[in-house]
Amino acid sequence: MSETDRLLENNEAYAKEFDKSGLPSPPAKGVAVVACMDARMDVHSMLGLKEGDAHVIRNAGGVVSEDALRSLVISQRLLGTEEVILVHHTDCGMLTFKDEALKDAIEADTGERPDFPFHAFSDLEGSVRTSIERIKENPFIPRKDSVRGFVYEVETGRLREVV
Amino acid sequence: MSETDRLLENNEAYAKEFDKSGLPSPPAKGVAVVACMDARMDVHSMLGLKEGDAHVIRNAGGVVSEDALRSLVISQRLLGTEEVILVHHTDCGMLTFKDEALKDAIEADTGERPDFPFHAFSDLEGSVRTSIERIKENPFIPRKDSVRGFVYEVETGRLREVV
């Protein structure tokens, strides 16, 4: 039995107790969270979010990539969110490698070199600031009064504000 | 008080009860989930995931964008995941607009036309299949034995397998 099959069994149990039908599509709290994909972060638990409350955008690093910007534009313009919470975290995998070294390894393994950036970073707080700047500079995101960046401490469960 | 400030208060409460320090970075269940950012999906609750279990990658639509592929490459190659669960959902916002119409509206509002795709789609199951194909065709993702695509029903809380 695969892990996927086990998780589908969990979903059966979730569906049996499900009482969240009829929630509207626009997030009730008007918030979009951008966070790293890291397994140690349960964004809903860490922020006390419930189904229906907030958009959650996640990728490797929690960096504000082009795709995160695409998602934020849709979140604000079509679904009415007004606040952004950006979350990177301590002990992030993105701090442990360099783009060029990963590309070298992949090329050695597959015979083909990735032509896209992996967005590894060496300065955690600096990366939060860079990502926040990318949101603030983007001409297509209309609401920027509350765009705040944090480091989540995997050691304590606490969000520490950076910018 | 902003919603962000209220969520930070929730995080204080979470941190006070926090007993998850010391979890390793590689996901315990070896799973990466790719899902839509939709507010009605709490990926951890719907799959019975706990902190430490799985990578969670989310964006508008849950489409396998270039950035989702970047995240999956890092997830598998650097952090050892072996299974992918892709989740789109009923009543998705991506079904309600067309890329060109959104670009028209943004250009009218800002004077500048977005030069990137928004990845709107009109066929929900078709979009799941397209995204699964993008993973299977990608030369940099090594493990493809368990790459499965689902529609989450916001009406029932249930995951329905598509491919």
Q: Which of A140, A151, A152 to mutate to test the interface with B (most CBs of B within 10 A)?
A: A140
Extract the tokens encoding B115: 């030069």
Report domain extents, chain B: 3-162
Per-chain mean pLDDT for chain B: 98
A138 CB within 8 Å of a chain B CB = no
Distance CA B160, CA B80 (A): 26
CA B143, distance to chain mean position in Å, is: 19
Query: Residues B106-132: pLDDT tens digits?
Result: 999 999 999 999 999 999 999 999 999
CA distance B55 to A151: 18
The reply to whether A135 touches chain B by the CB within 8 Å rule is no
Chain-wide mean pLDDT for chain A? 98
How much is the pLDDT for A147? 98
Residues in Cβ contact with B8 at an 8 Å cutoff, skipping those fewer than 6 apart? A159
Q: How far is A108 from chain B (nearest CA, A)?
A: 11
Question: What's the pLDDT score for residue A18?
Answer: 98
**Per-residue pLDDT tens over the stretch A78-109:** 999 999 999 999 999 999 999 999 999 999 99
Confidence of residue B49 (pLDDT cuts 50, 70, 90): very high
Q: What percent of chain B is predicted at pLDDT more than 70?
A: 100
> What does the block give as tokens for A157?
């469960």
B-chain CB neighbours of A106 within 8 Å are 73, 77, 140
Evaluate whether the domain defined by A3-162 bears CATH number 3.40.1050.10.
Answer: yes
Q: pTM of the prediction?
A: 0.99
Residue B84 — very low, low, confident or very high, per pLDDT cuts 50/70/90? very high
Distance CA A140, CA A76 (A): 10
Percentage of residues in chain A having pLDDT higher than 90: 100
